[in-house]
C-alpha cells in the first residue's frame, strides 16, 4: 500500500520542520525549515552537543550573537548535506520591528553560508510578517536573497508579502486552530469545527486561492500543524512543512490522500483584492484579534528562545 506521505508528495512539496536533521533520511523531504525554538530543542539533545561545542570552540573570541549565527549556519549546512532543496534560517525575532537591522542580519547570514560553500539559492531567510519584516523582504528579494515570511496569520499579511515579492510565506495552521479552540471553550466541537472547517485550514485555503486568482508567484507553505487531518486537508498546497512526529504518522498511514487545493479551482474564487498600504495593513491586522495576538505571542516566544540559546552558549563557553 502507498503511504499517506507518498500520496501527499504527489500533490505537494513536503518540507521537514525541525532542527533534528538526523531524522531526515527516512522521510526524504525536499526542503527543511528551522527557527530558534527548533535549534534550541536540538542542541539540548546529546547527539547535537558536539556540534554546539565545536561551534563555540571555533568562535571562542567572538560575541554570543556571532556564535549563534555560526550555530544556525552549522545546522543549516548539515541539513543541506541531506536534503536536495532549500533550508530556511531565521533572523533574530528581536529584530522583527527593525527593517534595516533585519536586512543587515540577512546579508550576514547569506555571507556566512557563502563562506561555508553554500550558494544563496539554497537558503531562505525567515522574517516575521510584520510591516517592517515585509519591507525588509522587499529589499532583500531585489538583492537576490529569497525570503520565507513566518508568523503569518491573516490574509492582510499574506497580501502584503505577495506584493513585496517574497519567495514564500508560512501561514501557521495549528496556532490559528489553537486560538479559535481556546476562544470557543466548551462550545468547541471538533467534529464540526475540525477537518475541512478547521479555521487554520480555511485560512490557508483562502490565502492560496487569493494568490492563484491574482497570479502571485509567492509560494504558500502551510506550517505549524497539530494533526495529520490538517495536513491532508491542504493536500495540493505548494508546500507543507511538517514536524517529524507528524511525518512519521503520515509515513505509517495508508489512508487515501486526495488533492484539495489546485490553481485551476482557485481561479474562479470570489475574493476581493486586499489593500496593502501601511495604514490599511496595520488596521486590518489590528482588526483581527487572532492575528494580532498570535503574531505578538510568536515574536515573544522566538525572542525568549533566542535568549535561552544565548545563555546555553555562555554556559558552554564557561566550561
Catalytically annotated residues: 126
- DSSP letters, the chain, are ---HHHHHHTTSEEEEE-S-GGG-TTT--SEEE--HHHHHHHHTSGGGHHHHHHHHHHTTTS-HHHHHHHHHHHHHHHHHTT-SS-EEEEPPGGGTT-HHHHHHHHHHHHHHHHHTT--GGGEEEEEE-SHHHHHHHHHHHHTT--EEEEEE-SHHHHHHHHHTT-SEEEEBHHHHHHHHHHHHGGG--HHHHSGGG-HHHHHHHHHHHHHHHTT---EEEEB--S-HHHHHTTTTSSEEEE-HHHHHHHHH----------HHHHTT---PPPP-SHHHHHHHHHH-HHHHHHHHHHHHHHHHHHHHHHHHHHHHHH-
Residue in the block written with cell 570552540: 57
Closest Cα partner for 19 from 3, 37, 7?
37
Amino acid at each position: 500500500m502507498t503511504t499517506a506521505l507518498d500520496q501527499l508528495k504527489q500533490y505537494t512539496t513536503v518540507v521537514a520542520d525541525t532542527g533534528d536533521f538526523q531524522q531526515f533520511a527516512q522521510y526524504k523531504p525536499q526542503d527543511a525549515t528551522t527557527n530558534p525554538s527548533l535549534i534550541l530543542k536540538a542542541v539540548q539533545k546529546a547527539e547535537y552537543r558536539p556540534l554546539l561545542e565545536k561551534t563555540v570552540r571555533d568562535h571562542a573570541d567572538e560575541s554570543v550573537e556571532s556564535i549563534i549565527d555560526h550555530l544556525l549556519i552549522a545546522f543549516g549546512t548539515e541539513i543541506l548535506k541531506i536534503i536536495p532543496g532549500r533550508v530556511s534560517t531565521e533572523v533574530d525575532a528581536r529584530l522583527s520591528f527593525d527593517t534595516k537591522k533585519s536586512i543587515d542580519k540577512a546579508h550576514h547570514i547569506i555571507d556566512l553560508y557563502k563562506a561555508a560553500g553554500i550558494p544563496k539559492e539554497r537558503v531562505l531567510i525567515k522574517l516575521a510578517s510584520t510591516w517592517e519584516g515585509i519591507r525588509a523582504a522587499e529589499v532583500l528579494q531585489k538583492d537576490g536573497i529569497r525570503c520565507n515570511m513566518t508568523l503569518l496569520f491573516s490574509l492582510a499579511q499574506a497580501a502584503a508579502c505577495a506584493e513585496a515579492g517574497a519567495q514564500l510565506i508560512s501561514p501557521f495552521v495549528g496556532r490559528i486552530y489553537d486560538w479559535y479552540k481556546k476562544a470557543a471553550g466548551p462550545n468547541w466541537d471538533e467534529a464540526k469545527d475540525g477537518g475541512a472547517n478547521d479555521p487554520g485550514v480555511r485560512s490557508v485555503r483562502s490565502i492560496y486561492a487569493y494568490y492563484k486568482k491574482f497570479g502571485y508567484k509567492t509560494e504558500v507553505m502551510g506550517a505549524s500543524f497539530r494533526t495529520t487531518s490538517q495536513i491532508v486537508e491542504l493536500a495540493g498546497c505548494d508546500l507543507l512543512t511538517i514536524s517529524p512526529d507528524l511525518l512519521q504518522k503520515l509515513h505509517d498511514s495508508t489512508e487515501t490522500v486526495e488533492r484539495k487545493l489546485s490553481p485551476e479551482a482557485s481561479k474562479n474564487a470570489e475574493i476581493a483584492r486586499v489593500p496593502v498600504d501601511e495604514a490599511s495593513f496595520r488596521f486590518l491586522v489590528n482588526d483581527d484579534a487572532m492575528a494580532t495576538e498570535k503574531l505578538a505571542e510568536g515574536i515573544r516566544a522566538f525572542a525568549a528562545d533566542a535568549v535561552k540559546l544565548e545563555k546555553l552558549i555562555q554556559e558552554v563557553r564557561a566550561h
